[in-house]
Chains A and B, each alone.
Chain A
Amino acid sequence: MAMTDPSGTVPTNKPSVQVSDDAAGYYTPGEPLVDPRTPTGPIATRWTNRKFENRLVNPANRRKLTVIIVGTGLAGGAAAATLGEAGYNVKSFCYQDSPRRAHSIAAQGGINAAKNYKEDGDSVHRLFYDTVKGGDYRSRESNVYRLAEVSANIIDQCVAQGVPFAREYGGLLDNRSFGGVQVSRTFYARGQTGQQLLIGAYQALERQVAAGTVSMYTRHEMLDLITVDGKARGIIARDMVTGAVETHTADVVVIASGGYGNVFYLSTNAMGSNVTAAWRAHRKGALMANPCYTQIHPTCIPVSGDHQSKLTLMSESLRNDGRIWVPKNKEDCDKDPRDIPEEDRDYYLERIYPSFGNLVPRDIASRQAKNVCDEGRGVGPMVGDFRRGVYLDFSDAIARLGKKGIEAKYDNLFDMYERITGENPYEVPMRIYPAVHYVMGGLWVDYDLQSNVPGLFVSGEANFSDHGANRLGASALMQGLADGYFVLPNTIREYLADGPFEAIGDDHPDVVAARESVQGRIDRFLAINGERSADSYHKELGNLMWEYCGMERTAEGLRKAIDGIRELKRDFWSNLKVLGTADSLNQSLEKAGRVADFLELGELMCIDALNRRESCGGHFRAESQTEDGEALRIDEEFAYVAAWEFTPAVENDPNEPQGSMGTPVLHKEDLLYTAIEMKQRSYK
């Protein structure tokens, strides 16, 4: 780190210049983008200064300021609770029947914090460094530094709320090292860290509901953003029980609606996870950044058939003791694995990466698994033309540690596996396969978490800001809570200091227009009366995305996917079948709206992936690899954030009541580092 600049002014890298142009014709080049709120000065002082510079809001005024927060996960729930405590008038929305069910609840592993309780050399700077590096140098250094800085406060806050983190015998907090990091900084609550953190935020939120500072709108789905004079001023939401299309105006809107991994149909996300809130904002002018950045998790339970509705993650810790292999010969793939002799097994990770073996990073483990399956050496049931699974074999570990030893470590996971697959992993090797797990892309925000639409803030997985091209384990929970408890409440006041803004009536033309467009879309879904369910389109979209915009991408494949998606979209708008009515609980209708947005997002993701002709983070672009087939990142061309602007189509599909998506405009924000130097990675 010798060449970094402590004053924070001289970058260690040059702005990138893109040479390749694979996506030519699919996009329009736009103006370069600069974060207007980017902080300056020595990196360690940036956040402190910003908190001081941001104006305060007089406590007497706070009650008069209405804040809409869409989402009650870690990011939204924590923000709603904190802003409620501060005395703002908060309206909180979620699509579930209770804020406690947001998808943050599913996180298992843990949450990072630079507490250095183990005195093993951890520090804010090290967490910062690891996180930027983990993101493959595609995130903003100031944001990440701030994340590391507030990480310690998160743990304090959660403990004070009663989050039952694991503890040592002395009664102090325990932590562990996670995902190949060399220091112990991951705090956890058995395999349910996300649940416990979310319940903490949920309880704080409910306390504010009782106090009257937060109004809770459960089973409400945001279907559009209201913008007036270019500013975000509210949302249109559908009461999912009565079907009423409601107008909620406010001084500021926060979107914390989580990730859009469900664009792949099969993912580890919840069934209801969607892109609608973010995508509607995007259509209203908010930029969508790095949409193609998705994280693929290597240890999920494989697909068992066409009926599959979602994938289940198993903790990566399994790779500490399990050995991954597939048969050397295709003919052996349907044999009982216990009958395949040692010499006919290919422990491919140990073979290709002798020093890391089964513990290679997520993206490599995932990609190699897909490679061997594509070669036809996958195991498990045939799904489509392939067997999609590799063995994760514990027989050596059982021989070494005994069945008891393995039970002590992995009992829960083994039980879960057996429940889902019906196979006993103590007897037969487990089967695993990679699955989409997290999206790093999302709405573009500045350092203050405000999008380019004034008054629209975005936090948690819904924004793009802190993880670059690849997320490390235990860092998304950290970001959600950092945004919710500490960052947003401190940055949003700068915007609100100018409020309360002039009240907007429900009859304001912009409000009416937004409401009518939502209504028009709903009516259209019900009127098409074609042949196919929304779910069937979703499945088909997912297949295209997984095949061509998943772990390994090629220009040719991506172009094929874009054509396929466009075709699918046309069919969707003319051949969809949604039964039931608009003014009642109607799950098919909800689904139709989400799929419609996924179709547009999917196309943009493919265009983004097509443009990014480099292998970075979790994605391998076949056109960008080293001689020995490893991922090749191209900093000179791509060290930038790709922020996409929505443009309506010139030629509208007459079936689409809101107008079709046209050619998106690409704005590039350069990533410049002063406190860190970019390095290529190597795991050989």
Chain B
Amino acid sequence: MTSVATQTQTPALVKGSRAARTTITLKILMAVSGIVFVGFVLTHMYGNLKAFAGHDAFNEYAHHLRTFGEPMLPYEGLLWVIRVGLIAALVVHVGAAYALARRASTARTQKYAVKKNASSSISSRTMRWGGVTILVFLVWHLLNFTIVKINPAGGATNDPYNLLVDTFDLWWMTLIYLLAMVALGLHLHHGTWSALQTLGWTGTAAARKRAKTAGWVLAIVIAGGFSLVPLFVLLGVISK
């Protein structure tokens, strides 16, 4: 039976779909790696607070990290386990973030002339730039404290505690770190809630509220906790 119908051309239906190839899987990867980061920054932040206990306690802690598990593990064994985990998480997190961001940018190529935000937070809208900020910060941070150990004040670099104090004695270094902490706080504020939602643990209004509260708490505790050391160094409370 013939007809001259010109049925509107429509994108075909996808065949053989796999759960692993969906955007939601990307999101789940992002959430899991994000949570790994959260775990890390939380302990890291706690470790940093040892700076308040003075030179020896802090260095002791740094040393302990490296010798932990010896002789079962080689020197820096645990640290390398953590590092490998973090590097993997970073690759996944940044990779997924990039893929999703690209997708979103092609989902709406013609922008609105006027667009209002009704309920989104600053943090949710700045995740991508915030993430890039953290990434840039991280590069500097590692150069500063681990990989190259640059002492911006020009002093010695073989003593972790002293390097820390030297660094934050410079007001502009402290400022850079504090700005990075703002970015981290924002990232965590939305990221925490977002990860819980992505993992499907926010099925009710109450759970949603809890997840948002968790975002606030983590953001304040972590970004705040990190900020204490640089601030107190600058104020001279922590000193060599």
- A/B: CB atoms within 8 Å of each other: yes
CA–CA, A242 and B8, complex, Å: 9
| B13 close to A506 (CB less than 8 A) | no
For chain A, residues 461 to 489, give those with C-beta under 8 angstroms from any C-beta of chain B: none
Report the Cα distance A503→B2, complex, angstroms. Answer: 8
Whether the Cβ atoms of B5 and A249 lie closer than 8 Å is no
Q: How far is the CB of B1 from chain A (nearest CB, A)?
A: 5
CB neighbors of A among B1-48 (8 A): 1-8, 13
CA distance A218 to B5 in the complex (A): 12
B13 touching A246, Cβ below 8 Å: no
Q: Which residues of A contact B6 (CB under 8 A)?
A: 239, 242, 244, 246
Considering the chains assembled together, what is the distance between the CA atoms of A250 and B5 in angstroms? 13
Is A539 in the interface zone, CB < 8 Å from B? no
Interchain residue pairs with CB less than 8 A apart (25): A66-B1, A210-B13, A215-B7, A217-B5, A217-B7, A219-B8, A234-B3, A239-B8, A242-B6, A242-B8, A244-B6, A246-B3, A246-B4, A246-B5, A246-B6, A247-B3, A247-B5, A248-B5, A249-B2, A249-B3, A250-B1, A503-B1, A503-B2, A506-B2, A506-B3
A205 to chain B, nearest CB (A): 15
CB under 8 Å from chain B, chain A span 363-411 = none
CA of A340 to CA of B85 in the docked complex: distance in angstroms? 79
Q: Shortest beta-carbon distance, B129 to chain A, in Å?
A: 37
Question: A649: CB under 8 A from chain B?
Answer: no
Q: Please give, as numbers and ranges, the residues of chain B lying within 8 Å of A234 by CB-CB distance.
A: 3
Contacts of A505 in B (CB 8 A): 2
A-B contact count (CB 8 A): 34
Instruction: Report Cα–Cα, A210/B13, bound state, in Å.
Output: 8
Contact B1 A506 (CB under 8 A): no
| Chain B residues in 8 Å Cβ range of A228 | none
Interface string of A181-217 (1 = CB under 8 A from B): 0000000000000000000000000000010000101
When distances are taken between beta carbons in the complex, the residues of chain A under 8 Å from B5 are: 217, 246-248
Contact A248 B3 (CB under 8 A): yes
State the interface size on chain B (CB cutoff 8 A): 9
A241 adjacent to chain B (CB < 8 Å):
yes
Chain B contacts of A506 at CB under 8 A?
A: 2-4
Cα A219 to Cα B7 in complex, Å, equals: 10
Chain A: CB-nearest residue to B3: A248
Chain B residues 175 to 190 lying within 8 A of chain A, measured CB to CB, are none
Complex alpha-carbon distance, A504 and B3, angstroms: 9
Chain A residues closer than 8 Å to B1, beta-carbon distance: 66, 249-250, 503-504
Q: Closest CB of chain B to A117's CB: distance in Å? A: 31
Q: Which residues of B contact A210 (CB under 8 A)?
A: 13
Measured in the bound complex, the distance between the Cα atoms of B6 and A66 in whole Å is: 17
The residues of B that contact A244 with a CB separation of less than 8 Å are 6
Check A241 against B3 for contact (C-beta < 8 Å): no
A92 CB → nearest B CB, Å: 12
Chain B proximity of A340: nearest CB distance (Å): 43
Determine how close the nearest CB of chain A comes to the CB of B146; give it in whole angstroms. 55
| Complex CA–CA separation, A506 to B2 (angstroms) | 7
Distance from A618 Cβ to chain B, minimum over Cβ atoms (Å) = 41
Docked CA distance A504–B8 (Å)? 23
A70 to chain B, nearest CB (A): 14
A residues sitting closer than 8 Å to B (CB atoms) are 66, 210, 215, 217-219, 234, 239, 241-242, 244, 246-250, 503-506
Shortest distance from the beta carbon of A503 to any chain B beta carbon, whole Å = 5
Tell me, in angstroms, the Cα distance from A239 to B3 when the chains sit together: 13
Q: Shortest beta-carbon distance, A228 to chain B, in Å?
A: 13
Tell me if B7 and A247 are in contact (CB < 8 A).
Answer: no
Given A250-B1, A503-B1, A241:B7 Cβ within 8 A: no
Q: A215: nearest residue on chain B (CB-CB)?
A: B7
CA distance A548 to B72 in the complex (A): 99
Contacts of A66 in B (CB 8 A): 1
User: Cα distance A506–B7 when bound, in Å?
Assistant: 16
Q: List residues of chain B with CB within 8 A of the CB of A219.
A: 8
The interface residues of chain B lying within 8 Å CB-to-CB of A248 are: 3, 5
CB-CB under 8 A from A217, the residues of chain B are 5, 7
Chain A: minimal CB distance from B189 (Å): 34
In whole angstroms, what is the CA distance A241 to B6 when docked?
A: 11
A242 to B9, CA, bound (A): 12
Q: Report the bound CA distance from A506 to B4 in whole Å.
A: 8
Taking CB as reference atom, which chain B residue is nearest A501? B1
Q: A241-B8, A246-B6, A247-B4 are in contact. List 12 more A-B contacts (CB 8 A).
A: A210-B13, A217-B5, A217-B7, A234-B3, A244-B6, A246-B5, A247-B5, A248-B5, A249-B2, A249-B3, A250-B1, A505-B2
Question: Given the complex, which residues of A lie within 8 Å of B3, measured CB to CB?
Answer: 234, 246-249, 506
Bound CA span A244–B4, Å: 10
Top 4 closest A-B pairs, CB basis?
A246-B5, A248-B3, A503-B1, A244-B6
Residues of A within 8 A of B13 (CB): 210
User: A89: nearest residue on chain B (CB-CB)?
Assistant: B1
Q: How far is the CA of A504 from the CA of B6 in the complex (A)?
A: 18
Task: Enumerate chain B residues within 8 angstroms of A246, measured Cβ to Cβ.
Answer: 3-6
Closest beta carbon of chain A to B2's beta carbon, Å? 6
Closest to A503 in B: B1
- Chain B residue nearest to A242 (CB atoms) is B6
Distance of A246 Cα from B2 Cα, bound (Å): 11
Q: Which A residues are in CB contact (< 8 Å) with B2?
A: 249, 503, 505-506
**Bound: A249/B1 CA distance, A:** 7
B4 contacts across to A, CB distance below 8 A = 246-247, 506
Interchain CA distance A242-B4 in the complex, whole Å: 13
Which residues of A sit under 8 angstroms from B8, Cβ to Cβ? 218-219, 239, 241-242
Neighbouring B residues of A239 by C-beta, 8 Å: 6, 8
Q: Which residues of B contact A241 (CB under 8 A)?
A: 8
Determine the distance from Cα of A247 to Cα of B4 in the docked complex, in whole angstroms.
6
Shortest CB distance B20–A (Å): 22
Specify which chain B residues have a CB less than 8 angstroms from the CB of A218 in the assembled complex. Answer: 8
* Complex Cα–Cα for A536 and B209 (A): 53
Q: Which residues of B contact A242 (CB under 8 A)?
A: 6, 8
Q: How far is the CB of B6 from chain A (nearest CB, A)?
A: 5
Encode contact with A along B82-108: 1 for CB under 8 Å, 0 otherwise: 000000000000000000000000000
A234 to B4, CA, bound (A): 12
Chain A residues whose CB sits within 8 angstroms of the CB of B7 once the complex forms: 215, 217
B172 to chain A, nearest CB (A): 57
B4 to chain A, nearest CB (A): 6
| Closest Cβ–Cβ distance, residue A80 to chain B (whole Å) | 16
For the complex formed, measure the closest distance between the CB of A334 and the CB atoms of chain B, giving whole angstroms.
40
Nearest-Cβ distance from residue B217 to partner chain A, whole angstroms:
36
A69 to chain B, nearest CB (A): 15
CA distance A506 to B8 in the complex (A): 20
> Would you give the shortest CB distance from B3 to chain A, in whole angstroms?
5
Distance in Å from the Cβ of B5 to the closest Cβ of chain A? Answer: 5
A89 to chain B, nearest CB (A): 8
Complex Cα–Cα for A219 and B5 (A): 13
Smallest CB-CB separation from A219: which chain B residue? B8
The smallest beta-carbon distance between A207 and chain B, in angstroms, is 12
Q: Chain B residues near A215 (CB, 8 Å)?
A: 7
- Listed residue (B1, B4, B6, B8) with the most chain A CB atoms within 10 angstroms of its CB: B1
Distance of A574 from chain B, by nearest CB (Å): 33
Closest to A212 in B: B13
Cα of A498 to Cα of B2 in the assembled complex, Å: 20
Residue of A whose beta carbon sits closest to that of B6 = A244
> Which residues of B are found within 8 Å of A503, using beta-carbon distances?
1-2
Taken together as a complex, chains A and B put the C-alpha atoms of A249 and B7 apart, in Å, by 14
A609 to B175, CA, bound (A): 86
